């Protein structure tokens, strides 16, 4: 007669600088399925964890930005391949956390993989779309060249734990930014599983940093951090948006406001990539 096993619940950690540290506060919180049953425990990140993630992102940003567009595209495409390999795991997390049917969850995972591939393909094309050779008077070339904004803080969509996350994370990476992302508070498992994927991919350490915990606690710290260059409010609670924008004004961050699910759930467009680029204008004399 077989004995009933006790379920071994996982305690997920943060993903910062290519490593998986526990929260500095040593706190964690329960992640429950839609039926109220316990799925796992996740790290409850602190203010110091946010600061550590920003330090890691800043350290990684020059190297990531300096990579050739073709190389960035290759590395992002490798992430898509690894997402495809973990379809079952992501689908199970979506079914449990979001209450969808199995078929619907598998479709969501498929859309997330396809979207990641779509953005990876843009790495060596965005410069042609956003850049230009400008007509000027005189013996000069004048070029407009898109460059990454720098470190982007992202508050991931709360209701779509995988597709929403991919929809806001991938475009920031495509243009050479590094990212600190606050995962969906109630549905963090796809985000921390994505961290496990990134850790074993070709992506350099610190390019993506994933925090789990209370959005109301972490978002203001990220928004006010003076070494964060831009802020994506895709998943920010409505009651926090004004506070976060005011905090972001402290060092004149570029802020992408949330327009609700329609902002990221529709078919992807280049606009979200271009939200986090700066345009550098270069003059060069024409040789004889």
Residue 263: the pLDDT is: 67
Tens digits of per-residue pLDDT, 193-241? 999 999 999 899 999 999 999 999 999 999 999 999 999 999 999 999 9
Q: How far apart are CA 220 and CA 56, in angstroms?
A: 19
Residue 87: the pLDDT is: 93
Residue 196: the pLDDT is: 94
Residue 283: the pLDDT is: 85
Radius of gyration of the chain (CA): 20
Long-range contacts of 237-244 (CB under 8 A, 24+ apart): 237/158, 240/215, 240/216, 244/155, 244/219, 244/220
Residue 2: the pLDDT is: 56
CB neighbour burial string for 216-232, b if at least 16 within 10 angstroms, e if fewer:
eebbbbbbbbeebbbbb
Residue 264: the pLDDT is: 67
Q: How far apart are CA 48 and CA 165, in angstroms?
A: 23
Among the listed ranges 34-38, 139-143, 166-170, 215-219, which one has the minimum average pLDDT value? 139-143
Is the model's pTM score more than 0.75?
yes
Q: Which residue has the tokens 């996982």?
A: 10
Average pLDDT taken over every residue of the chain: 92
Give the phi and the psi of residue 210 in degrees, each rounded to 5.
-115, 125
Residue 244: the pLDDT is: 96
> 109, 152 in Cβ contact below 8 A?
no
Share of the chain above pLDDT 90, in %: 74
Tens digits of per-residue pLDDT, 84-109? 999 999 999 999 989 899 999 999 99
Mean pLDDT in residue range 267-272? 86
Mean pLDDT in residue range 236-255? 94
Question: Does position 288 have pLDDT exceeding 80, yes or no?
Answer: no
Domains and CATH numbers, the chain: 47-285 (3.40.605.10)
Residue 1: the pLDDT is: 47
Question: Does position 159 have pLDDT exceeding 90, yes or no?
Answer: no
């Amino acid at each position: 007669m077989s004995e009933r096993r006790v379920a071994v619940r996982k305690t997920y950690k943060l993903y910062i600088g290519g490593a998986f540290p526990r929260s500095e506060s040593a706190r964690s919180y329960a992640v429950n399925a839609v039926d109220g049953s316990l799925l796992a425990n996740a790290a409850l990140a602190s203010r110091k964890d946010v600061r550590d993630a920003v330090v890691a992102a800043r350290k990684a940003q020059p190297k990531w930005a300096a990579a050739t567009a073709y190389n960035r595209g290759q590395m992002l495409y490798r992430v898509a391949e690894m997402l495809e390999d973990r379809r079952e795991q992501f689908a199970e997390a979506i079914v449990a956390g979001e209450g969808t049917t199995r078929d619907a969850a598998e479709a969501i995972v498929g859309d997330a993989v396809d979207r990641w591939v779509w953005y990876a393909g843009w790495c060596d094309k965005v410069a042609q779309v956003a850049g230009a050779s400008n007509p000027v008077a005189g013996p000069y070339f004048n070029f407009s060249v898109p460059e990454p904004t720098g470190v982007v803080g992202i508050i991931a969509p709360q209701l779509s734990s995988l597709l929403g996350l991919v929809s806001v994370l991938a475009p920031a990476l495509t243009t050479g930014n590094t990212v600190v992302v606050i995962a969906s508070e109630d549905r963090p498992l796809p985000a921390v599983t994505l961290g496990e994927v990134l850790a074993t991919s070709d992506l350099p350490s610190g390019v993506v940093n994933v925090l789990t915990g209370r959005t109301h606690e972490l978002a203001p710290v990220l928004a006010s951090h003076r070494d964060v260059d831009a802020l994506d409010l895709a998943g920010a609670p409505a009651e926090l948006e004004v506070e976060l924008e005011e905090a972001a004004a402290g060092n004149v961050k570029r802020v992408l406001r949330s327009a609700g699910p329609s902002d990221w759930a529709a078919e992807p467009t280049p606009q979200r990539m271009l939200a986090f680029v700066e345009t550098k204008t270069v003059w060069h004399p024409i040789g004889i």
